[in-house]
Structure 1
Amino acid sequence: MSPTFSIRNGTQQKIPAVPFLRIKEKVLGKKYDLSLVFIDETRMRTLNTRYRNKKTSTDILSFPLDTLSGEMFISMNDVQKKAKKFSLSTKQYLGFLFIHGLLHLKGLDHGRTMERQENSWCRTFSIPSPNT
């Protein structure tokens, strides 16, 4: 079976046109099977409580299922808030955040190595990074 990349919008919000497939294939490769789901703050809070024991919403959660598949959940409400905080457009911050989540799926944790990779991939796709 060939790898799939699915995007589901579980919100009423419009998702900005980010080249998700192109970014995913460059960062994780064409063989990686990824499900990307946009959810509201309430659902994100539920997931964050269940999997991280944090009773707040967050902008992104990434779950590697195995070496070639994973799931990613993004809260657009949180994306919009963080975009404002970093003086970026929603589309710009969403592009950065998607890269951030993909790097978590590759096994990277927060820190200097991850920031360097984020900055490098952001340059590749002409996306401003809040790290700089």
Structure 2
Amino acid sequence: MSTLTISPTNGLKPRVSRALLLSMKNAVLGDTYELSVAFVESKEIRRLNRIYRNKDIATDILSFPLSKKEGEIVFCMKEVEAQAPLFDQTPSHFLLFLFIHGLCHLKGMRHSATMEREEITFRKAFEI
């Protein structure tokens, strides 16, 4: 069974299709992977980044593998919206770009040329 749970906080949910996110999740991680996606304020993502990455700064996305078949991606839309113009993208488009990046991390990939190629493959497949 394919599971994707989306938890918006204070109306921070972006305007992207749940069906598209589910399709992307299934393509990268498989349809048995259980994924939770949360949208939080800058203060909360900064707290998480400080705790789990030792970086005392807000960020746009964090990925947390919980097991081989379960994980969580946390977004801060304020940061996504701030970063999107730097990549000449709309916030919704940039969120999808980041979502693929986070999925690759949940797949066990680290920043590398191999991960970049994998991201490009999925971005092309989903026309991102």
Q: What range is the shorter-chain TM-score in?
A: over 0.9
The equivalent of 2:46 in structure 1 is 45
The count of aligned residue pairs is 126
Displacement of 1:16 in angstroms is 1.7
- Report the counterpart of residue 84 of structure 2 in structure 1: 83
Q: Which TM-score applies when normalising by structure 2? A: 0.93
What residue identity is the alignment partner of 2:126? Answer: F
1:57 aligns with 2:58: yes
Does residue 1:68 correspond to 2:73, yes or no? no
1:10 paired to 2:9: yes
- Distance in structure 1 (CA, Å) of the matches to 2:82 and 2:2: 33
Structure 1 residue 74: deviation in Å?
0.6
CA distance in 1, matches of 2:15, 2:101: 17
Task: Name the residue aligned to 2:103.
Answer: 102
Over residues 35-85 of structure 1, what are the superposed CA-to-partner deviations in whole Å (9 max), with x where a residue is unaligned? 100111110000000111110011111111111000110111111111111
Task: Name 1:130's counterpart in structure 2.
Answer: none
The corresponding residue for 1:25 is: 26
- Give TM-score, length-normalised by structure 1: 0.91
Q: Deviation per CA, 1:69-119, whole angstroms, max 9, x where unpaired?
A: 001101111111111111101111111100000000001011211111111
Q: Is the contact made by 2:3 and 2:31 (CA closer than 8 Å) also made in structure 1?
A: no
CA-based RMSD: 1.1
Counterparts of 1:123 and 1:11 in 2: how far apart (Å)?
32
Q: Of Structure 1 and Structure 2, which has the larger fraction of its residues in helix? A: 2
Distance apart, 1:3 and its partner CA:
4.8
Residue 113 of structure 1 pairs with residue 114 of structure 2: yes
Distance 2:111 2:22 in 1: 24
- Alpha-carbon deviation of 1:12? 2.8
**8 A contact 1:16–1:90 mirrored in 2:** no
